[in-house]
Amino acid sequence: MACGFRRSIACQLSRVLDLPPENLIKSISAVPVSRKEEVADFQLSVDSLLENNNDHSKPDVQVQAMRLAEKLKCDTVVSEISTGQGTVNFKINRELLTKTVLQQVMEDGSKYGLKSELFSGLPQKKIIVEFSSPNVAKKFHVGHLRSTIIGNFIANLKEALGHQVTRINYLGDWGMQFGLLGTGFQLFGYEEKLQSNPLQHLFEVYVQVNKEAADDKNVAKSAHEFFQRLELGDTQALALWQKFRDLSIEEYTRIYKRLGIHFDEYSGESFYREKSQEVLKLLDSKGLLQKTVKGTAVVDLSGNGDPSSICTVMRSDGTSLYTTRDLAAAIDRMDKYNFDKMIYVTDKGQKKHFQQVFQMLQIMGYDWAERCQHVPFGVVQGMKTRRGDVTFLEDVLNEIRLRMLQNMASVKTTKELENPQETAERVGLAALIIQDFRGLLLSDYQFSWDRVFQSRGDTGVFLQYTHARLHSLEETFGCGYLNDFNTACLQEPQSVSILQHLLRFDEVLYRSSQDLQPRHIVSYLLTLSHLAAVAHKTLHIKSSPPEVAGARLHLFKAVRCVLANGMKLLGITPVCKM
């Protein structure tokens, strides 16, 4: 991983520049394969060195690069030094490159790229990731899919980097909708329907009671009364609410299992209905709470009455709101976990809400509010099934599996599979995740079934296909070849391109760890798969002498390992047959 090469170059530079090697390591980057003239493996940007130089009359970077290159010498690691546009380029001894990269991939296994010097000195932190957060008693809406897969990716990445991660699912399990639902179930609910298909039945009840409440003030009144009973802790009302909550979590857990996602804690707004009263008292004691003419309580975050900075924290009847409960949850989590970072993964529509929550925590005297971060994302448009508009995630998952099974059945190369349903689901999920993660998380995007299922091009199907194909090479030719290999047999341009690309994996992980964007890893894995496809056509194993076949098999195994590592970080389970 960059396999000590970066450090070796930094040590030589440090002697010439009289700077500690640690200051130079992040300025030395592996050169992306796509832009490669066949020479350099690493480059040093002279500009990045000059940034530390406060001298405003910066000398011409090209001249600087050439001067620096003249002072450097080739050694056992670096076989060639040249200059580019403001860069000093380093070519690594080819046989050393081959041996070191392939050995490191095999030795480090799932930790390849994560043991890099780029991550050295990284303190282990306690990190909370709050994601998914569907609304109880409603079917899992497709709108929660992005939060679920993005949050899972962030938690996977942080965990892989050695942090202690707690995954929290903060359910929408409190609020006026439960007044409506409780009343609706008393009017239109059936116990047997609730047991056989809970979320579908509750959805139907909710739609019906909403219609009734719009026409009949008495229904709206009893809904309000039911929610007040809940807030006051009425045992009958709470027992019904608890039943709705338990059945909902059961359904969600089943869907999360299909997605390959788990949580450490199922929390919810209901946990904080009492603690939110303590938050209101604290705001009041600090003189921050203001009563309005309507009887609601607000906090003015601007201090000068700016209407856009006024945040409502209590209804006129004294019941809590979403914001108050979020404040109570944040304070409670700090007490319970003493976190170094708490990341909320929700759509960009909640950006202002979180800004206000973090600001309110600050003015309440909680300095740790700066450890809280909102990771916003855009909206998916046009996700429909063949039956028309879709709102439920399960329908999308079923559709994906069905279409994938049909696609697999129509392809002649499809292998006999032990569990075609499971394979179809895993490939389909990869397709869904890659389409979602290819762009900036903040961007909205148009969902396209046709694009999702393309087996060629930059898709999840292509990644799974590449992984399965490389796995089948290992199965066909066995592991007998894999004991030792001759580095001289891997000097073709196709081999060198793959090795150079494997060299960059740590940088890609580092970039994603900095901005929490999965697209860097997606783009890297797609390039790796394309390079592997080209190599597979030209670097044959079957007709080659044993020594050459063994070396090539080693190379393809390394590709498959890194591909699998990256896919797992993204939340994709690699398949071995397709």
Q: Catalytic amino acids?
A: 138, 141, 144
8-state DSSP, 169: E
Q: Which helix (H) or strand (E) holds 346?
A: strand 341-347
Backbone angles phi, psi at 51, to 5 degrees: -60, -30
Cα separation of 84 and 44, whole Å? 10
Strand, coil or helix: 12: helix
Six-digit token string for 85: 């546009």
Amino acid identity of residue 40, one-letter, is: A
Q: Which of 541, 506, 534 is nearest to 520 (CA)?
A: 506
Q: From residue 245, how far is each of 23, 269, 472 by CA, in Å?
A: 53, 12, 45
Strand, coil or helix: 340: coil
- Per DSSP bridges, beta strands 388-389 and 384-385 are antiparallel
Q: From residue 220, how far is each of 111, 181, 184, 224, 447 by CA, in Å?
A: 57, 11, 10, 6, 38
Q: From residue 264, how far is each of 4, 146, 148 by CA, in Å?
A: 36, 19, 14
Six-digit token string for 150: 């993005």
Q: Which residues have C-beta within 8 Å of that of residue 245, sequence separation ≥ 6? A: 136, 137, 171, 173, 268, 270
A 10 A CB-CB count for 71 gives 13
- Taken in order 187, 192, 198, 204, is the CA torsion positive or negative? negative
Cα separation of 319 and 233, whole Å? 13
Q: Are the beta carbons of 401 and 428 closer than 8 angstroms? A: yes
Q: From residue 290, how far is each of 245, 280, 282, 287, 331 by CA, in Å?
A: 34, 11, 13, 8, 22
Q: Which residues have C-beta within 8 Å of that of residue 461, sequence separation ≥ 6? A: 427, 430, 431, 452, 453, 454, 455
- Per DSSP bridges, beta strands 445-446 and 380-381 are parallel
Strand, coil or helix: 98: helix
Q: Are the beta carbons of 327 and 357 closer than 8 angstroms? A: yes
